Each structure stands twice: as structure tokens, then as C-alpha cells.
Amino acid sequence: MPTVAVLPHPLLSLLPCVSYWELDYGLRCFVGPHLVLALVVGFPGVALFCVGVPLASALWLRHNAARGRLNTHRFSDRYGFLYEGARGGGVGVKA
């Protein structure tokens, strides 16, 4: 059984969870307060990260494309990795 390090933040103590909390074997995972915390903080956070970051990047690139900044040397050097693979074809299609 792996050892559990002392975590500095109370919310981080929820991480070592398989089916029972390793810090307190009397508490089951995704039952009671752990389920509430997972539904209120965990799942929305993952969804926001998985959808929000790509959406914000796309909107930000669209905003800068409308202003003609995508082809400037400074902008391309900093953020070109976000869109250079999509040039000349559909998004995600390499010629």
C-alpha cells in the first residue's frame, strides 16, 4: 500500500481516493460530502478546463485574426504554435 504524504491544503486531501479515502477508511469515495464536493468543484472544473481553454484560445485567435495580427512576426513567434498547423487546409489536416 502506498504511503500518503501530509498535504498542506484540506481540499488536496481528497485526492488519494480509490474506493475508500486512504486518510480515513470510514469514508467512502463519491458518497456524502465527497460526492457533493466532486459535483460542485471537481467535475465543473474539469469541464471548464477541457472546453473553456480551447474555446477561449479559439476566440482569442479569431479576435487577433480580425485585426490582422496573425501574420506579424511578433505575434507569430509567440503564439504561432496555436494555428500554424491549420494553414493551407482544414483544421487538423496536414497536406
HEC profile for 56-68? HHHHHHHHHHHCC
**Domain residues for 25?**
12-84
Q: What is residue 3's DSSP assignment?
A: -
Residue 95 lies inside a defined structural domain of this protein: no
pLDDT tens-digit readout, 5-51: 444 555 555 555 556 666 677 777 888 888 888 889 889 999 999 99
What per-residue confidence (pLDDT) applies to 29? 80
Domain membership of residue 17 (yes or no) is yes
Number of domains in the chain: 1
pLDDT score for 49:
94
Residue 42 lies in a domain: yes
User: What burial letters (b/e) apply to 50-76, b meaning 16+ CB within 10 Å?
Assistant: eeeeeeeeeeebeeeeeeeebeeeebe
pLDDT > 90: percent of the chain: 26
- pLDDT (mean) for 62-67: 92
Query: Cβ distance 39 to 19 under 8 Å?
Result: no
pTM for this prediction: 0.54
| Structural domain contains residue 91 | no
**Cell numbers found for residue 49:** 478546463
